[in-house]
Amino acid sequence: MKTDVEELSPTRVKLTIEVPFQELDHAFDVTYKSLAKQVRIKGFRPGKAPARLIDRYVGRGAVISEAVNHAVPELYNEAIQKEEVFALGQPDVEITKLEDNDELTFTAEVDVRPKFEVTDWEGVEVTVDDATVTEEQVDDQLGNLRERFSTLTGAGRAAQSGDHVSIDLSAAIDGEALEDVQASGVSYEVGTNTMLEGLDEAIEGLSEGESATFSTKLVGGEYEGKEADVTVTVHSVKIKELPELDDEFAQMASEFDTIEELRADVRKRLGEMREAQQRAQARDRAMEKLVDSVDIPLPESVVTDEVNRRRQSLEQQLQQGGLSKESYLESQGQSEEEFEEELEKSATAAVKAGFVLDQLAVQEELSAGQEELSGYVIEQAQRMGVSPDQLVQHLVQSNQIQVAYTEVVRSKAMDLVAAKAKVVDESGNEVRTADAEEAAESSEEAPEAAAEEKTEAPEAAEQDAPAEEQEQK
């Protein structure tokens, strides 16, 4: 087999592959065995008819076509491995020459990962938020804890803002009741304005057993956006009582004996959370700055696929939540054009980041071991609400194992960038994280096996890319 590679652009190549007919023997053997089981030729049992009779029975041209269809994918994969072409997605194949007992020639145009080196990635300078914990933040956390231990008692008066009420709701349009738009025993905090426009004003001043009707636009469901008359009936009015912040509360709400011990623990936990946020910021901002510093061409088809994937994912989420795209855009304060512009921008950034991480992983010989892959699967399974075994089965059946591998290695590359970054907080203090130090040590102590696994390193061109868009070698 002879292969010629022509660079059509920095992100697309054309392979011309010439194959002598004798190298198609395997493909013809498979084809004859398959056709022998399908045809019925007198005097021969199914699967036993000789090749010359199959040629005569189904036609030599049909046999050649079937054999070529079987051979081309294998020949293509062999060619890109031999030529070390990092292909993205499926190729556009065209048979240019097919002569029986002579030669098969075909071309394959395919997008490829651009060739580049990630330079100056060590020492990226970034600034993160201060990790200082204020007394106001501690008070807010204690306030949330008080809310969890609050009690509701009867108000004995008409509803006011801040009260908790139990209500029934029903709606009608032009005097006709909407059976599907009603609810009973709904708990609601007056003044939050989280249900229907005008509901809070209608409830305020109502006592137990009283009703009021107001006009509003319905949200969600079949009648979304339509003007309707909504009747609200109040069944109970209660006020929230919060416990005092004293030693008794500390003993009730925690394992501590005094309120000062509880306050100190809250301050400590907030500090740990703020430090974790610093580490996440350092990781994200260092990576963002590195990606912005790299100028590489991006395959248009890969970006388009990522845009479509993200759009479909959002539409599925909206559908599951019973929301329309129009209502979503309204809630975001976006027009359709602004939404599409932002979608393309984020997809482009994700594709570019994927290329940079993949290349850095190759340069630094990063790889993922079985334990790391297992950890990733367990984490993703918990996030998705399925068992790890179910997720593994899905990854195998959908040919997505390489996606998991890619994500683990990319994460290690991001950790490495953060580990080597120069990070300071807004006050100018140097920030060092345990995670970053561990990532640096892990990179320096990478086993020699990484060199062998390098050929299986991340090859996807985009963040969260589907399997069919993974690079092929």
Say whether both 178 and 286 belong to one domain: no
Mean pLDDT of the chain: 87
Overall average pLDDT of the 77-82 stretch: 93
Q: Does 133 map to a domain?
A: no
Residue 31 has a pLDDT of: 86
Confidence of residue 472 (pLDDT cuts 50, 70, 90): very low
Write out pLDDT tens, residues 329-387.
Answer: 988 899 999 999 999 999 999 999 999 999 999 999 999 999 999 999 999 999 888 99
Question: What per-residue confidence (pLDDT) applies to 221?
Answer: 76
Q: Looking at per-residue confidence, does 133 or 34 come out higher? A: 133
Look at residue 22 and tell me whether its pLDDT is greater than 50. Answer: yes
Residue 186 lies in a domain: yes
Distance in angstroms (rounded) separating the CA atoms of residues 2 and 184:
75
Q: How confident is the model at residue 435 (pLDDT cuts 50, 70, 90)?
A: low
CATH number of the domain residue 444 falls in: 1.10.3120.10
- Residue 249 inside a domain? The answer is no
| Same domain, yes or no: 210 and 276 | no
Residues 395, 450 share a domain: yes
| Residue 461, pLDDT score | 35
Let me know whether 273 and 310 are in one domain. Answer: yes
Q: Which of 29-38, 149-158, 447-456 is predicted most confidently?
A: 149-158
Q: Where is mean pLDDT largest: 20-29, 59-68, 297-306?
A: 297-306
d(CA 406, CA 355): 11
Q: Does residue 439 register a pLDDT over 70?
A: no
Q: At 448, is the pLDDT very low, low, confident or very high (cuts 50, 70, 90)?
A: very low
Q: Average the pLDDT over 252-280 and give the result.
A: 95
3-state secondary structure of 218: coil
Residue type, 79: A
Do 32 and 169 lie in one domain? The reply is no
For the chain, give the number of residues.
473
pLDDT at 40: 73
Q: What was the pLDDT predicted at 63?
A: 87
Please check whether residue 260 lies inside any domain of the structure: no
Token pair, residue 261, equals: 């011990």
- With cut-offs at 50, 70 and 90, classify the pLDDT of residue 440: low
pLDDT at 159: 96
Q: pLDDT value at position 248?
A: 95
Percent helix, strand, coil in the chain, to 5, is 50, 20, 30
Predicted pLDDT at 319: 87
Residues 6 or more apart from 456 whose CB is under 8 A from it?
A: 367, 402, 405
Q: Report if residue 38 sits inside a domain.
A: yes
Look at residue 255 and tell me if it is in a domain: no
Query: Which CATH number goes with the domain that contains 88?
Result: 3.30.70.1050
CA angle 107-109-110, nearest 5°?
A: 140
The whole-number pLDDT of residue 49 equals 75
Out of 241, 257, 277, pick the residue that ends a domain. 241
Of 449 and 124, more confident:
124
Let me know if residue 106 belongs to a domain: yes
- Per-residue pLDDT tens over the stretch 156-187: 999 999 999 999 999 999 988 988 888 999 99
What's the pLDDT tens digit per position in 195-241?
Answer: 899 999 999 999 999 999 999 998 877 888 889 999 999 999 999 99
Whether residue 179 sits in one domain with residue 91: no
Considering the domain architecture, whether residues 292 and 379 belong to the same structural domain is answered as yes
Torsion over CA of 375, 469, 341 and 331, rounded to 10 degrees? -50
Q: Which two tokens stand for residue 214?
A: 């107001």
Q: For the segment 90-102, what is each residue's pLDDT rounded down to a tens digit?
A: 899 999 999 888 8
Q: Are 204 and 159 in contact (CB under 8 A)?
A: yes
- How many separate domains does the chain show? 3
461 and 317 inside one domain? yes
Each residue of 421-431: b (16+ CB within 10 Å) or e?
Answer: bebebeeeeeb
Q: Provide the token pair at 234.
A: 């109040």
Confidence check: pLDDT of 54 > 90: no
Domain-located, residue 142 = no
Pair 271, 204 in one domain: no
Asked if 219 and 91 sit in the same domain, the reply is no
- C-alpha dihedral sign at 139, 144, 146, 151: positive
Higher pLDDT, 59 or 308: 308
What is the predicted pLDDT for the residue at 327? Answer: 85
> Does residue 466 register a pLDDT over 80?
no
Read off the pLDDT band of 457 (50, 70, 90). Answer: very low
At residue 444, does pLDDT exceed 60? no
Are 341 and 203 members of one domain?
no
Range of the domain at 159: 152-241
- Assess whether 82 and 192 both reside in one domain: no
Looking at residue 223, which CATH number applies to its domain?
Answer: 3.10.50.40
